[in-house]
Amino acid sequence: MVGSNESAGVTGRPPSTLVTLDERDNVGTSQAVFVGVLAVLLATGWVANHFAALMPVITDSQHLSTATIDAIFGIYALGLVPGLLVGGRVSDALGRPTVAWSGSTIAVVGTVAMLLSQHSDVLLAGRLIVGAGVGLAMTAGTAWASDLKGPAGAATAGAVLIAGFAVGPFAAGVIAAAGSLGVRLSFGIAAALLVVAMLIAIVAVQRSGVTGSAITHDSKRPTSARLSAAQALSWALPLAPWVFASATLGFITIPHLLHTGFPAPLAAGTAALIVNGSSLLIQVFARTRGWGPQSGTAAALLAALGYAATAASPSSMTLALGLPLLPILGCASGLSLRAGLIDLETSAPQRVRGTLTGVFYAVTYVGFGLPLLLTTVGSAKLSATILAVMAVLALAAAVGRAARLRRDNLWQN
């Protein structure tokens, strides 16, 4: 390397063809690793969320109360948050691959446990284990994608994860039509998909020559005082609560209020597909149209609209009233996730990006507790009050971000 640099400096000649070929090889291997990381994130989203469509069948077959099944669904977040926080910090220190593989393996173990038994205690433990594994895998994977491709990588990682959230429940809803056999089959398919995705990524990493540390993407951003953890979190965290509070309100709570005539698993899976599909599509559209940081403002406004409309709705919704809320909440979720991740990639120093990504995701998953909270309070009037307060908070987040962006241009993408 020294000799070639000196030669270039003395003669002024362009880099040799050999260097160009090496660069092309590096781009190819980097792209293969990126695709492998996305495969893991897609399967991780599937494993994390396919349980939503299985809940009605498991409730009937295991004779579980609504509170118990909501607790089984929500305990996932209890395992997830430590996984997110630990995974980000450890991946910054040890590299993304180690944490991504560990998290994926843990998620497979939890899924296989639920495949073998649907007893409530096993489901509680399995969901807790899956949450911890997903937290590790999604934090390391998202930060890894950001390392590889910069803002585009961060945004793509979020979109692919949401795609897994969308397709997993819909597929599980179709499969669960077979009853308890369908439930076991759904768990088996989810575990198999994650194993296959891991193998694809591991092969890509081995061929690239990566060992214990992440491949870093040169984002070509000037290093400045603006790159700080506090700066990054101050932009991203106000959007975080609306990511999964919006999504779970759409595909967990609202289907219970709708009378669709569909079998319960298919209704839940379809709602998840609409909510998360809208989340995915709006992220892709925002990317292709080059929407800037004001898309985060729009996200909070859409969240406020969705919560306010749900709060004002009767306890039994018609399709004409409830169906439009699903894409509204999905778009709020998707834009919040996309804008928050790009906020981090733009403002966070690379050395702590995994840690901050974990913090961001941890706050997003607080929203997973919303359906359980609404079920626990029981009273329709009190539930409406909670949603109204959330609408006000989301509106405040939108106004605050819009005002701040008038003073500080954050990112262009």
Walk me through the domains of the chain, giving residue ranges and CATH numbers: 30-208+225-407 (1.20.1250.20)
Of the pLDDT bands very low, low, confident and very high (cuts 50, 70, 90), residue 28 is low
pLDDT value of position 6: 36
172 with 53: CB under 8 angstroms? yes
What are the tens digits of pLDDT across the range 57-89? Answer: 898 888 888 778 878 887 888 898 889 888 888
What are the tens digits of pLDDT across the range 355-375? Answer: 898 899 889 988 878 887 888
pLDDT value of position 265: 72
Give the chain as a 3 state SS string.
CHHHHHHHHHHCCCCCHHHHHHHHHHHHHHHHHHHHHHHHHHHHHHHHHCHHHHHHHHHHHHCCCHHHHHHHHHHHHHHHHHHHHHHHHHHHHHCHHHHHHHHHHHHHHHHHHHHHCCCHHHHHHHHHHHHHHHHHHHHHHHHHHHHHHHHHHHHHHHHHHHHHHHHHHHHHHHHHHHCHHHHHHHHHHHHHHHHHHHHHHHHHHHHHCCCCCCCCCCCCCCCCCCCCHHHHHHHHHHHCHHHHHHHHHHHHHHHHHECCCCCHHHHHHHHHHHHHHHHHHHHHHHHHHCCCCHHHHHHHHHHHHHHHHHHHCCCCECHHHHCCHHHHHHHHHHHHHHHHHHHHHHHCCHHHHHHHHHHHHHHHHHHHHHHHHHHHHCCHHHHHHHHHHHHHHHHHHHHHHHHHHHHCCCCCC
pLDDT at 303 over 70: yes
pLDDT value of position 228: 84
How far apart are alpha carbons 47 and 32 in whole angstroms?
Answer: 23
- Written as one letter, the residue type at 155 is A
Highest mean pLDDT among 89-103, 324-338, 376-390: 324-338
Question: What is the average pLDDT across 99-110?
Answer: 96
Which range among 18-32, 99-113, 275-289 shows the weakest confidence by mean pLDDT? 18-32
pLDDT value of position 181: 87
pLDDT value of position 211: 47
pLDDT at 20 over 50: no
Whole-model pTM? 0.76
95 with 139: CB under 8 angstroms? no
What are the tens digits of pLDDT across the range 138-188? Answer: 999 998 998 898 888 888 998 899 889 888 888 998 888 777 789 999 999
pLDDT at 354 over 90: no
Of the pLDDT bands very low, low, confident and very high (cuts 50, 70, 90), residue 4 is very low
pLDDT at 215 over 80: no
